[in-house]
C-alpha cells in the first residue's frame, strides 16, 4: 500500500477552471501518451489553461492540452509530435456514457483540473462543470478577498 503523500504528485493544475466554472463532479482518467510525451509530462512540461475534454464516438478526448516536446528526444527518424494534438482519455465505458448524457442533456462541459502521477501512471482529473457568468465571478473574487483579509487579521493577532 502506497503512502498518501507518495501516491500522488501534481504535475500541472488548471487554476483558471475554478474561476471560470462551477465544478459539479470530478472524475479520474488515464491518458494515452507517446513515449517522449510521458517524459515531458513527468518533468512538468504540460499546460491545461485552454484545455477541455470532448466525447466523440464513445471515446473521450482531451483537446487543447499543450505538452512541450521533450528536449532529449533525438530520434531523427520519427516526426516530431504536435504539442496540441488530441489525446485519448482512458475511462470505463459506463463512465463515458454517463458523462456524455450529462453534457448533452444539461449543457455542461468537461474541463481538466490537474495532471498528476498516481502509482507511477499519469492521470488526469476532469470535472463536469457549468460556466459562471460575470456576476458569479465577481462574487467569487469578493469572497476570496474577504477570506484573505480575515486570515491576515487572525495572523496579526
Kind and range of the H or E run holding 88: strand 87-90
In a domain, 143, yes or no: no
Cα of 31 vs its chain's centroid, Å: 11
Choose among 132, 87, 99: nearest CA to 25.
Answer: 99
In angstroms, the CA 22 to CA 17 distance is 8
- Supply the range of the domain harboring residue 49: 7-132
In angstroms, the CA 115 to CA 124 distance is 5
Tally of domains within the chain: 1
Task: List pLDDT tens digits, range 80-124.
Answer: 677 788 899 999 999 998 888 888 888 789 999 999 988 888 999
List the CATH number of the domain containing 110.
Answer: 2.40.280.10
Task: List pLDDT tens digits, range 30-75.
Answer: 998 887 888 888 888 888 888 999 998 889 999 988 888 877 766 6
In a domain, 64, yes or no: yes
Amino acid at each position: 500500500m502506497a503512502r498518501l503523500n507518495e501516491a500522488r504528485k501534481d504535475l500541472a493544475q488548471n487554476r483558471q477552471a475554478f474561476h471560470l466554472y462551477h465544478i459539479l463532479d470530478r472524475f479520474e482518467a488515464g491518458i494515452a501518451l507517446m513515449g517522449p510525451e510521458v517524459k515531458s509530462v513527468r518533468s512538468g512540461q504540460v499546460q491545461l489553461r485552454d484545455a477541455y475534454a470532448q466525447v466523440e464516438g464513445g471515446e473521450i478526448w482531451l483537446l487543447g492540452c499543450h505538452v512541450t516536446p521533450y528536449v532529449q528526444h533525438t530520434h531523427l527518424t520519427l516526426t516530431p509530435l504536435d504539442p496540441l494534438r488530441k489525446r485519448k482519455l482512458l475511462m470505463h465505458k459506463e463512465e463515458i456514457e454517463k458523462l456524455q448524457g450529462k453534457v448533452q442533456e444539461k449543457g455542461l462541459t468537461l474541463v481538466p483540473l490537474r495532471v498528476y502521477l498516481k502509482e507511477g501512471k499519469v492521470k488526469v482529473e476532469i470535472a463536469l462543470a457549468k460556466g459562471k457568468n460575470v456576476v458569479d465571478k465577481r462574487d467569487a473574487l469578493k469572497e476570496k478577498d474577504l477570506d484573505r483579509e480575515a486570515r491576515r487579521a487572525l495572523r496579526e493577532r
